[in-house]
Structure 1
């Protein structure tokens, strides 16, 4: 039998995040992790303490590498439609796509540390969306952070529905349509009749 490769903590966390994203926490055994990572069980426990310790490290990495950077991209955005679609993509982006969704649905209600990590992610997205809405025109600008929280929860629900049932239209397209109901189109896009017979305002 060949010797397991040298333990690479960064690579182990990355591979574990991808595995947890596919199978969930409960659906991933320590044997699965040992086989996928190609390390000794003792090395895994020595570095991470437990399967849960590795899971927390994997979730933290996913937030830092993929979710929170997308939230940062929203800051200063001028189009609520694009901002909400970007926020929707944050839930399912990167090699460990879906890990945040599963963490919220599977563990956050019973694990305080997972709950804190998911709350950090959703809070960053809500804050960014609230800023975009506040800078927009129309009724969405007056709704404040409560609307941003509602939108984030709605997008989360749509993504979960899409992931678990394969429901069509439950991805970024649905988020785009939702945002379009809350904000007017950009100023450079005509909204009324056009052509030679259109009123000119003269």
Structure 2
């Protein structure tokens, strides 16, 4: 019978997700992980195989425990203004959104497995935004140049707004992460949501 691992794997994965949400993947060494997690290097390698293996486990954990519940709350929002508030106004979601953003920008372009993990998550974000805007069916695609009915045009507008909302959530998180002086993420999100939901 092998020796007990000596650490709680779920706790290590959660702590790794927190660390990966604060710094770039390449900016974190195995020494950093050993120090931050308080786990021996050999134990990390034996359990996760590599830094990338630990990163993948941390990203999966964050997508499940931070992002999936956030997407559900966005979908349950009454309108776009509330959806934006839910997505950018809750500090508890900061780490999850930071890790998602860094994965999209930094890892997905160079790691196919990460890209494949993120594609359905971003699609779910778009669908949640459509639901918040009052449109519950998935986006429809039309060939370029095809004539649309007024109803189809309205639906396409909603699809575009949903896509813009997802991009806005990530963009506001990026601005907040950059620490730009005078950036008030919640205020900016509320102002934009007001414009998006204002009737002509």
Give yes or no for TM over 0.5.
Answer: yes
Q: CA RMSD in A?
A: 2.7
Q: CA separation in 2, counterparts of 1:115 and 1:91? A: 26
Contact 1:34–1:40, Cα closer than 8 Å, also in 2: yes
Deviation digits for residues 31-55 of structure 1 (CA, Å, limit 9, x no counterpart):
1111222222121111111100100
Q: CA separation in 1, counterparts of 2:43 and 2:87? A: 37
Contact 1:21–1:98, Cα closer than 8 Å, also in 2: yes
Deviation digits for residues 104-154 of structure 1 (CA, Å, limit 9, x no counterpart):
22111111122223323322221111111135xxx9876222221122113
Deviates more, 1:62-71 or 1:110-119: 110-119
How far off is 1:164 after superposition? Answer: 1.8
The residue aligned with 1:191 is none
The residue aligned with 2:12 is 12
Residue 31 in structure 1 maps to residue 45 in structure 2: no
The residue aligned with 2:189 is 175
Matched length: 179
Q: CA separation in 1, counterparts of 2:81 and 2:14? A: 32
The residue aligned with 2:146 is none
Residue 147 in structure 1 maps to residue 161 in structure 2: yes
Instruction: List gaps (5 residues or longer) in structure 2.
Output: 136-152
The residue aligned with 1:197 is none
The residue aligned with 2:177 is 163
The residue aligned with 2:83 is 83
Larger-gyration structure (1/2) = 1
Alignment CA distance shift 1:22-1:58 (3 Å): same
TM-score (norm 1): 0.77
Alignment CA distance shift 1:113-1:167 (3 Å): farther
TM-score (norm 2): 0.78
Deviates more, 1:84-93 or 1:157-166: 84-93
